[in-house]
Structure 1
Amino acid sequence: MTQSKRETERKYDAPSAEDTSWLPELTGVDRIAAVLEQGMDELDAVYYDTDDLRLAGASATLRRRTGGDDEGWHLKLPLSGDSREEVHAPLSETLPDTLRDLVLSRTRGAELTPAVRIRSTRDTRHLVDSAETVLAELVIDRVRAQSLRGTTTVAAWTELEVELAEDTDPALLDVVDKTLHKKGIERADHPSKPVRAMTETGLGGPRIPDTRAETVVDGSAGDEVLGYVDEQVRKLVGLDPAVRRDVPDSVHQMRVTCRRLRSVLRSYRPVLDREVTDPIRDDLKWLGGELGAERDQEVLMGRLGKRIGAAPDELVLGPVAARLRTWNVANTAEARRRTLDALNTPRYLALLDSLARLREQPPLRRKAARKPRKVMAKAIFKEYDRLADRTAHALELTPGTERDKALHEARKSAKKTRYATEPARATLGKPAKRLGKRVKAVQKVLGDHQDSVVARDALRKLALAAQAAGEPGFTWGLLYGKEQAVAADRERELPAAWADASNPGLRKAITD
C-alpha cells in the first residue's frame, strides 16, 4: 500500500556538517519563533534507475532507504517550481509492483537496478511558530556516495535542505532563502542527491541521446512545432502515474493531451514526415479511445446526476437515483479496468518509445527549416477551412440524427483548428490566440450539443431498464425531453458563435 504527499523544498551547498557556525540565526525571521533541534539520524539509501538513467533524465528518483522515521521505498516525481510528489511504500526487499508501475512511463519498461548508494548523517531542526507548530524542517546532511555499477570513485559533500510543512505558505522559503544568501549560503546547482552522486562517482549524468541540436534550426517552423510536441509528450508521461492512482481529472487531462498531439502531428505534416508520425497518431487515437470510456462515463454521470438533483421532488417517480448509482458503478468499474489495462499493454510502451524517438530524432521535412510564420498560418487555415465546410454542411441539415452526426464532425474540426493555433502563438501572436479563443467558443457549443446526444442515448437505455423492472419511466422521459431542449438551444446558438469565429478580420490579422 502506498501513501503520497507533496514535498516543497530547496537545497543549498553547505560548508560543513561538524561546525555549523555558518548557519544564520533564523529565530525571528518571518513567523519563525524558534529553531528546535530534533537529533541525528543515520540514513542509508540505494537509488534505482535504468542503464541509461531514464529516471534521472526525467527528474524522478526511486530509492530504498533505511533509517529515520520514514524508512521504506520512496518515489519522487517532479511537480512545478520547488515541489515534488513523494509516494511512499513500506520497506521490503524487492521493489513494490505499485512503484514499478508508477515509473513505467519514464522507464518505458527498461529494467531498474541499483545505481548509487548514498549514506547520510542527518541533523534535523524544526522551524516553529509561536504556537510551536512546525512551519518547516531544516536538515544538514553529511553525504557519502558510491556508485553500484563498477566504478570505484566515492564522493562526499555537505548540503542543507529546507522543506516546508504541509499548509505552510511557500513565501516562507523565499524569506529563509534571502537570509541564507546574506550569510553566503547559495542554492545547490544539482537537482538531487542521486544526480550529484552519479556525476561525482563517475557513473555520469543522465544519458539521453539528442540529435535535435544538429538538425533543428533555431526559430524555424520545425523548432516551434517540436517545442510544442516536447511539452505535450512531457505532459503525457507526467500524467501516467496520476491516472494509475486515479487522481481527479487526470484521465481527462491525459486524453486531451493525446488529442493535442494527434492534431498537431496531423496539422503540421509539412514539418514532420507523416510516414513516421501517422503510426504514432494511430496509437494516440487508440490510447485516447481507451481512456475515453472512463472520462465519458464521468462526464455523463455528472450531467445526469445534476439533472436529477434539479428536478422537483414530485416529478422524481420511482428509485431513480438508486438506478443511476447502480448503472454508474457497473460502467465505471468496467471503464476503469479498460484504462489500466491499456497502460500495461505492449502497445502503450511502444507508443512511449515512438514518442521518445520523435523528440530525439525528429523526422523533419524541407519546410521545417523555413521561417515559421507562413508555414504555421497555412497549417492553421487548412484546418479552419475544413471546419468552415463542416459547419456550413451541418447548418444546412434539418434537425435529426444526420445533423447530430454532422455537428459532431464539426466539433472535431473545431478542436483540430484550435490545437493548430497553440504552437503558433509565439510566432503569430494575439491574432492566433484570438482565433483559438473564438473557435473554442464554437467547440463549447458543439460539445454541449454532443453531450446531450450521448445523454439522451443513456437515458433511453435507463428508461428501458426501469420499465423492464416494473419501475416508472416518467422521470427518465422528462430528463430526455430536457436534453432535447438543450440540444435545440445549442443549435440556435451555433450560427452566432460561428459568425464570431469566421470574422474575415481574424484571417487577415494572421496572414498580414
Structure 2
Amino acid sequence: MQTATESERKYDVPAGFALPPLSGAGGVSASGEPATHELDATYFDTEDLRLARNKRTLRRRTGGTDAGWHLKTPGEGSSRTEYRLPLTGDDAVPAELVAEVRTIVRTRPLRPVATLRTRRVETPLCDADGRTLALIAQDEVDAETGNGQQRWQEIEVELVDGGPELLDAVEGLLRAAGATPAAGPSKLARALGDRLRAPQPGKAPKTDPVLGYAREQRDAIEAHDAAVRAGDADGVHKMRVGTRRLRSTLKTFKSSFDPERAEFLKDELKWLADCLGDVRDGQVLQHKLAAASEGFPDVAARIREKLEADVSRGRQALVEALNSDRYLALLDAMDALIDEARPDAGNAPRRVRKVLHRADALLDTAVGDGVDAELHDARKKYKQARYAVEVFAPAAGKPGKKLVSALTSLQDVLGAHQDSVVARELLRDVARTAPDAFEYGVLYARQERIGEETFHELPAVIKSSRRGKLRRWLG
C-alpha cells in the first residue's frame, strides 16, 4: 500500500468561471499544457456516515492518472494523508483499507453512499526551470446520492514541489477573480449535504463538564489508535492516559453514568490500559536505565536486551488486542455509555473534594509509614483526583489551572519515586543470572538514593498542592 501526503485547497466557483493569469504567483513562471480527465468515483461509508463524520473519505476511482482505491485521512495542519491501492476485480473494499478505519467503522459494513463523475481540466504551474510547483484543477462535478443529483464547479490547487506560500499567492488571485474558499472539506461532504450535517440519535450537544471531559477522553483513545498500531511511543502514552482519565471519570462521577455499563467499561478500560502499560512501562525503563547504567556497558547491554524483549512481546500482544473483537466491543461500549450519560452537576463538585481529600489522607499515611507500596497507592489516588479537578478547572480560571499544575508536580515526584522502585526490582531480577552482581549492586544503590531523594522532596510539593487559595474554588 502506498501512502502520500497531500496539501491542497479547494474553492467554490460560479458557472463559467475562468482561471486568471497565474504567472508570478509564488514563483510560477508559466502554466503547462492542460490535460482533461474523466473521473468516476464511488464513495464508501457506513449507513450512519461514520467515515465522513470523522473527516475521512474512502473511494474507488477510475480514470485519470491515479485510478485505484483511495483512503484520505486528516494529516498535520491542513494536509491530508492518502492511502492508495490498485483497482481490484470487484467493488469489495480491500482488507488493508478496512483495517485502517476499523476503529471508526467497527463491525459496520461499508457500502456505496455516493457516486461522483468529474470532468477535470488539470494544468501544471511551473517555475522558470520547468519544474511543476503545483497542479490546478478545474472540476465539473456531477454527484448522485440517495437524495438525488447535484452539479457544481470547483477549483483545486494541490502542491507538488512548491511551498505553502504558493498556495497563498494563488489564492489571492483566485479570490480576486470570484472564487471563494470551499464551504465543505470535500466533494463528498458537499454531495451528502444535509444528511451529513444532521445530528445523530443520542449525540445531541451537551455542555455538562463531566460529559464533555468523558467525550474528550473517548476521542483521544480513538485518535491515537493508528499511532499505537504503527509503534509510536508517544501514541502509546497518550492512549494510555486517555484510558486512565476515562476510567477515573467513571469512578469519580458515578451518578452521571449507567452503573452496570460503567462497571463493564471500567474493567475493559483496565484491560486496555494494562496492554498499553506492558509496552509503555518498558519504554520508560529503557530511557531511564540507559542513562543510569552509563559506564557499565555489560550491565547496560543485559538490561537493554531484557527490556527490548519485554517491549517486543508487549507490542505484539497490544496489536493483537487492538485487532480483537473485544477491543471493538470496548469502543462501542464507550460510545453507548457516554452518549446516554446524564448531567449531574449538583453532586459533581462534592465528589471532586471527596477524592482529593481521600488522596491527601492516603499520602499522609504513606509518608508517615515510609512504605513504597502505600506511596504508589497514594499516587494512583492523586491521578484520580487530578483528573477530577481537570473537569472543572477551566471554569475556575487561574486557581483551577494552578491546582492542576501543583497536583501534576506532586505526581511527578511520586512517579519518580515509583520508577526507582520498579528499576530496583528489575535490577534484582537481571542480577540473579549475571556472572558478576557487583555492578548491579552499584546501580541498585543509585536507585535507592533516587528513592530517598524523591521521598525527601515530598513535603514541599505536598504543601504547595494544599494551599488554600488553590482549593478554595472547590468549596
Q: Which residue of 1 aligns with 2:192?
A: 198
Q: Which residue of 2 aligns with 1:251?
A: 236
Separation in structure 2 between the aligned mates of residue 493 and residue 131 of structure 1, nearest angstrom: 64
Separation in structure 1 between the aligned mates of residue 405 and residue 376 of structure 2, nearest angstrom: 19
Q: Which residue of 2 aligns with 1:422?
A: 390
Structure 2 unaligned segments of length 5 or more: list them.
Answer: none
CA change 1:42–1:483 in 2 (3 A) is farther
Q: Which residue of 2 aligns with 1:261?
A: 246
CA change 1:459–1:131 in 2 (3 A) is farther
Residues 230-263 of structure 1, C-alpha deviations (whole Å, 9 max, x = no match): 2222222222122222234111111111111111
Q: Which residue of 2 aligns with 1:380?
A: 352
What amino acid does structure 2 have at the position aligned with 1:397? D
Separation in structure 2 between the aligned mates of residue 419 and residue 55 of structure 1, nearest angstrom: 30
Residue pairs, 1:290-439, within 5 angstroms: 290-308=275-293, 311-312=294-295, 315-316=296-297, 318=298, 320-362=299-341, 364=342, 367-368=344-345, 375-398=347-370, 403-439=371-407
Q: Which residue of 2 aligns with 1:110?
A: 108
Q: Is 1:477 aligned with 2:472?
A: no
Q: Which residue of 1 aligns with 2:67?
A: 71
Which shifted more, 31-40 or 232-241? Answer: 31-40
SS at match of 1:465: coil
Separation in structure 2 between the aligned mates of residue 83 and residue 134 of structure 1, nearest angstrom: 19
What amino acid does structure 2 have at the position aligned with 1:255? R
Separation in structure 1 between the aligned mates of residue 399 and residue 162 of structure 2, nearest angstrom: 41
On the 8 A contact 1:62/1:73 being kept in 2, the answer is yes
CA change 1:504–1:323 in 2 (3 A) is same
Q: Calculate the TM-score normalised by the size of structure 2.
A: 0.90
CA change 1:80–1:379 in 2 (3 A) is farther
How big is the shift at 1:142?
2.1
Separation in structure 2 between the aligned mates of residue 258 and residue 271 of structure 1, nearest angstrom: 18
Separation in structure 2 between the aligned mates of residue 177 and residue 497 of structure 1, nearest angstrom: 53
On the 8 A contact 2:13/2:178 being kept in 1, the answer is no
Separation in structure 1 between the aligned mates of residue 226 and residue 243 of structure 2, nearest angstrom: 16
Q: Which residue of 1 aligns with 2:472?
A: 508
Separation in structure 2 between the aligned mates of residue 413 and residue 153 of structure 1, nearest angstrom: 56
CA change 1:163–1:426 in 2 (3 A) is farther
On the 8 A contact 1:210/1:361 being kept in 2, the answer is no
How many residue pairs align between the two structures? 473
Separation in structure 2 between the aligned mates of residue 134 and residue 390 of structure 1, nearest angstrom: 65
Residues 90-122 of structure 1, C-alpha deviations (whole Å, 9 max, x = no match): 443443323212211111211112222223233
How big is the shift at 1:77?
2.0
SS at match of 1:205: helix
Separation in structure 1 between the aligned mates of residue 169 and residue 283 of structure 2, nearest angstrom: 43
CA change 1:10–1:404 in 2 (3 A) is same
Residues 106-156 of structure 1, C-alpha deviations (whole Å, 9 max, x = no match): 112111122222232333334455666655433222222334xxx483333
CA change 1:212–1:205 in 2 (3 A) is closer
Q: Calculate the TM-score normalised by the size of structure 1.
A: 0.84
Separation in structure 1 between the aligned mates of residue 214 and residue 161 of structure 2, nearest angstrom: 34
Residue pairs, 1:1-12, within 5 angstroms: 2-12=1-11
RMSD: 2.7
CA change 1:120–1:407 in 2 (3 A) is same
SS at match of 1:249: helix
CA change 1:359–1:273 in 2 (3 A) is closer
Separation in structure 2 between the aligned mates of residue 490 and residue 10 of structure 1, nearest angstrom: 52
Q: Which residue of 1 aligns with 2:200?
A: 209
Residues 9-41 of structure 1, C-alpha deviations (whole Å, 9 max, x = no match): 32211234xx552x2333333444444456233
Which shifted more, 406-415 or 433-442? Answer: 406-415
Q: Which residue of 1 aligns with 2:459?
A: 495
Q: Which residue of 2 aligns with 1:234?
A: 219
Q: Is 1:284 aligned with 2:301?
A: no
